[in-house]
A and B are shown apart, each in its own frame.
Chain A
Amino acid sequence: MTGNRIARAILVLFFIGLLATPFVMKRISSGRDADRSKTDAKTALARHGFYLEEVSQAAGINFVHQSPKLDPKLDPIMPEVASMGASVSIVDFDRDGWPDIYVTNSAIGSKNALYRNLHDGTFKDVAGELGIADVNQQGTGVSTGAVWGDYDNDGYEDLLLIKWGRPELFHNDQGHGFTRVTEQAGLPPWINANTALWFDYDGDGLLDLFVGGYYSEDIDLWHLTTTRIMPESFEYAKNGGRKYLFRNLGNGKFEEVSGQLGINSRRWALAAAAADLRGTGHPDLFVANDYGVSELYFNDGKRFHEVGEQTGVGFAPKSGMNAAFGDILNQGRYAIYVSNISEDGILIQGNNLWVPKKGTAGDTMKYQNLARDFGVELGGWSFGAQFGDLNNDGTLDLYLTNGYISLARNRSYWYDFSKVAGGNRSIIGDARNWPAFEGRSLSGYQSKRLWLNDGAGKFVDVAQAVGATDTYDGRSVALVDLWNRGALDVVVANQNGPLLLYKNTVAPENEWIEFELEGAGSNHGGSNRSAIGAQVTLVWNGQQQVQEVSGGSGFAAENDRRLHFGLGKNPHIEKAILRWPSGKVQTIDQPAANQLHKVKEPA
């Protein structure tokens, strides 16, 4: 009997230990994952090697995004259906050597802005005088994103504006103005798009265009004939917008070729990015879909092959809202970051960090999700994210913005959201069945994440410590060295909120190098002038890092085309290997640190 009593006492203690385990795990996790203390700039500089200062007002930027107001039938859930449209893209539209900023607005009658860099720390909105501001007119839809690429190889970046509405192509007239060429280009009259990118999929030196639809293209969100416009499933929906692949014919016209080249999807695309993931010389295409699995299209130069399930990235469905590539381990291979939704106790999808599996390459490439192991899994209702070396220590860090709908602080829509989201398709698919928002928040007022990479497989969130302290409903992030100082600044577009400029100050002992690439153009048998798809592999201090010029990445964003590498202290740079989309390979031996290298593709 005594033995039995002892056994029971041990059992009770064991049970109490089990119940206490969550508290222990919470303590371990909170101690390990983040530096959440708000610190001053000096401390942040000493501790993390950099700090951010929000300077939009001082820089002359007072842009505030406005959400669209759609058909009144959607009024009860308007905050949810009108929750996207804020975007930012970086371009040096006038080729003065200083990056400029283009931002979209989304209310009917609202204006987009093009902030010209005045070189003195300030910017001036010139979108109106150049003809690309008043683009949200009644009957044409509203802006949801913009990407820049020199489609006619005249040396100036042209503008592709995507909308929930009529997509627009603007030709850049040598930096002095823009001419609308939408009809000549042959773009369709209406796409409810949230993502687009420029890339030269066929390597002919002409930039092609991918556009991903979100809502079906036959829906005019301002004049609904039905309220059955919602996804048929929260994680398996295939009733979204179609995808478009526009092949550049070289005469100002584009031909839509998605179906014949293997891209047939009606998933709800929210983000796309392209890069040569396998070293084939052809850019592969990654599409992050809301309400479903991600898609990965391997490109053999002639056709695309959807390999999401085969590679591992397209099996577990989530709410994909971002696609960004980064060589996070300095191994010459890209990881892919996809943002999703995590809300304590309700829906914990976790963001995905798809890292190439060791021993796999080429057509047999496989990915594993290491977001949890690396510490970049939980970011709230995550949206745009970008990789970049923010403290110039030689490894790529990750900036993530988040927050869905910030209305009443103490009233949440999550209960109603979760109630309907798990229901049958006939219920979830009809907007009339969704309970009214009534001013409630849904994952609002969230803290941002800025994960510093230690280079050994761990990221630590230092957003609060280094000054990224806003709680707006973030959507789009772009990284750019705005003032040519060798430091990556962060530009964030917020839904219904201000455009934020986080100016970065980096510890001077950490060095850097940047590359501005320009292709020779198709007329000279070279690459597209924007050099989109060109790769730079930098070899220094016995390690290497690869980066690629992108024509759009993140969520509704485009980083600066210039490639920025942090080098750490006292770097010894061995070489930079440039691989152009044309296939040419160029090596620069021992390029100097702490300067921008402008490189033109050899003819």
Chain B
Amino acid sequence: MSQQASAPVLPSQAPAQKTPWFGLDNRYLAPALITCILLAGHLSFGILESYQKTLLAILTSIGLELVLGRIFFQQWIHPASAYITGISVGILVRSPAFWPYALCSAISITSKYVVRVRGRHIWNPSNFGISVMLFLAAETVATLSIQWGNYLLPMLVIWALGSVIIWRLRRFHITGIYVASYIALALIRSWMTGSPWQSEIAPITGPMYQLFIFFMITDPKTTVRSKRGQCLVVFLVALLEMVLRLYQVVYAPFYALFVVGPTAMLIEIWLESRRAQATTPTVAQ
């Protein structure tokens, strides 16, 4: 769920910092937003049963990023990305035990360094970490679902704040396409299954989805580069999610992104390499 810097951000790759917003450069917008969400959720509803667990997730994430960055890139990586990954794990993972928080953060960060294709990591780190935990440790781990109340006001605040920031980061089209696709496909699901349409819409009105649509699917490092491609990919995420939901998969959005995101990345990398080959001048004999 890294927003600005899910891959190690080398100085040359750092996002532009020329137009600070309220004195905050773009790199800090997403961390600031997710921190606000966490604080608002906890102070209003007490979503965190334990500060320590969230802190553990954040510290594990940042610590590992610093160590691995130092080893493999010979520099101290900016912690913004790891902070977002850690805090996302701290919010989304629900477990009575401590170890899943540390483990999920560790898997998320390490995946960025292990699963790489042509220098790019292809999975959104926290999406990878959470999906793996749900696959492998279902008896100990669930995700955030009901812990943030069912009230409209906090969601409106997140939607408003999140939309402004995502707009500012020029990623709003991803969120917008996903939400529109989800709603349209939810209505189709309702028609197909006979379930009340309200029940099909219900998930996107809950807190888990706010993190999903503002942070996970918009991660610049694990989305394809072209705007049109991003729109297509996010629609395909929504489409696969619908199929999984028809099979009553509880964590359909995570799994859909887990499958579609890297697939799109691999296709893009393949196309780019073909293009590069085609434009490389032939060496004269």
A residues near B, CB below 8 A? 4, 7-8, 11-12, 14-15, 18-19, 21-23, 25-26, 232-236, 315-317, 343-348, 350, 371-372, 377-378, 412, 414-416, 418-430, 432-436
Contacts and interface: CB of A to CB of B under 8 A. Distances in A.
B114 A19 contact: no
Contact of A18 (B107, B142, B146, B248): B107
Interface string B174-215: 000000000000000000011110111111011110000000
Interface stretch (B7-15, B91-99, B158-166, B275-283): B91-99
B98 to A, nearest CB: 9
B95 A348 contact: yes
Contact of A11 (B68, B139, B194): B68
Interface in B204-257: 205-208, 248-250
B35 interface: no
B94 A423 contact: no
Interface string B141-179: 110011101111001000000000000000000000000
Interchain residue pairs A-B with the least CB separation, the first 5? A423-B202, A345-B138, A422-B206, A415-B248, A22-B137
Given A347-B142, A424-B202, 11 more contacts: A11-B114, A22-B136, A22-B137, A23-B136, A236-B45, A344-B138, A348-B142, A371-B96, A427-B199, A428-B202, A433-B202
B282 to A, nearest CB: 29
Contacts of A12: 114
B64 to A, nearest CB: 10
A561 B78 CA distance: 65
B146 A21 contact: no
Contact of A422 (B46, B110, B145): B145
10 contacts: A7-B71, A11-B68, A18-B106, A22-B136, A26-B137, A235-B147, A415-B248, A421-B146, A423-B150, A433-B198
Nearest to A432: B196
Given A11-B113, A316-B49, A416-B195, A422 B202 contact: yes
B145 A348 contact: no
Nearest to A309: B46
Interface residues of B, number: 53
Contact of A317 (B46, B138, B201): B46
B212 to A, nearest CB: 12
B133 interface: yes
Given A7-B72, A425-B151, A348 B141 contact: yes
Contacts of B193: 435
Contacts of A15: 107, 110-111, 114
Contact of B196 (A22, A236, A433): A433
B96 A14 contact: no
Contact of A435 (B46, B96, B134, B196): B196
A4 B72 CA distance: 8
Nearest to A12: B114
Interface in B35-90: 45-46, 49, 68, 71-72
A328 to B, nearest CB: 19
A345 B71 contact: no
A412 B208 CA distance: 22
B70 to A, nearest CB: 11
B132 interface: yes
Contacts of B72: 4, 7-8, 11
Given A233-B149, A348-B141, A419 B202 contact: yes
Contacts of B138: 344-345
